[in-house]
Structure 1
């Protein structure tokens, strides 16, 4: 019960007691008898009527105030009762929800409990394995402790041996230093001798290099002296540009061919005339009739055995004549020549690679090798 309800009840009881007390007296205004008041209060001092009236007014005012408060308390009580009713309704809903939750949670709890039991079983297995592993680790730790103890003992022994070895090495090092100091002078002497030996060796190496260079020079001189040479002259009446093309290619190929014979080709100047002291190669370019071209090329040239007529055909390889020029040029104008040789060239390529040129170069080389002489 609320505290204000208790206060109201006590106040109501006091008011009832007061009314019963007042009923015992006669009021002058209302005609109520006062004998009871006199009888009850004969042994005490009689209160005045005004005091009693004031007391009644105070009590009436207090009753009005209490009535007003009672009304307020009743309203508050009504509100509290309404609130409590709502709370009871909410509590019923919560109880229903709790019931549903308990029913729903029961299955889940059973499932969770089963899972937890399975997990507990697994944990027991894992705990057993862990215990075995722990025991194994303890044994390993014990073994390692023993091993470490042995290592410490061994280390201590090794340290003592190491210190002894260090002392022995220091003593030996001291003796070696004394020996090294005593032998330093000998080392200096040996270094001086070694330096002298190196100087002599360097001199010998220099002299050997000089001798080798002289030997190589002698070999080159000997080779030059053992080589032979052929002084050869060239004569042509063709234009300078074509003459340079033909003679350049001819000289190059003859030089390569004669190099294998250790023979050098030395070109001699020939300005015409009957006096020839070296083999002479006369260049004839076949542009029309071979006979007329050959006679024109040999004009003013002696018909001697040391003169060879080189007939150059300005044609492709497939158009070259099959019959050689020495079979055609058989008259008296050509009978005294040393050789008549066919060759081929083109103005764009010079003396090109073909069977006629291979045979012709070989014949020219054979002709010239008749006149090789010792190199001067």
Structure 2
């Protein structure tokens, strides 16, 4: 009986030890799980901080981009002013005045050189005459000194007269030399002035050649809006200024003819203005209702919206039917009544797209 009870107590002890081991393992696993959870919480906190840094970096980059856009606008405005100044200067009569002034200076310089040559020749001749006169006087003095017939008083008077003549010739010779020096200095100043005017003439000639080259590379395009609204006229003018600035940066001139009726010449690139007021397809079809749809035609879709409300997809990807496959380009322009065409990614890409369309289809004259 006692033996049997001993056997029953033994498994109970083993079970207790096993339970203790299992409890110990569970406690260790619980501790490991707690450490793992703490580690995950730490990583999550770090990731949250990193996300905050990334958002801050994006905000800083956005501010920099906006500042860069404003700087580009200022540069474009300055370039427009410089181009206008160049146009005004090329039309001014200053060039003719400078050429006239240069011609007068060259004439004066030539005249001064001829005068110097004449004076030098005259002075050389007078020097020869002067030397000949001195020689003659010396000969006469020699003759008079050995001629006993000349009375002493007459000899003194005659000698004084000769000395006076020598002094007069010497003064006259010095006066001629001073005049030659004066003319040489004047000639030197005229040569320096001529060199300066020659440089100015070359600079003006380069400016004229540049302007003439621009004139010969003039690009002609047409612009048309089916809806006769004041907004369309304003957008045409603003778009014309933007395109003119882009082409002038590449030493080209663009001439735009604006029409309120469908333009007659289909060979010249045509930009059609379309206001997106309702459905995109309906608005574009109405804008193109009286226009030949071809590769030389581009449609500018105007979106009167803030930047955050602009469509996500370009109109060119939405208008994929057979009615639009022959159109050369479809671009989107964002504008506001108070700001006009404002700086954004959409407008920058659309402007580049229009410039490429014009260069591909336009013919320079």
**Length-normalised TM-score, structure 2:** 0.48
Higher relative contact order (CA 8 A, sep 6+): 2
Indicate the structure (1 or 2) with the bigger Cα radius of gyration.
1
TM-score (norm 1): 0.47
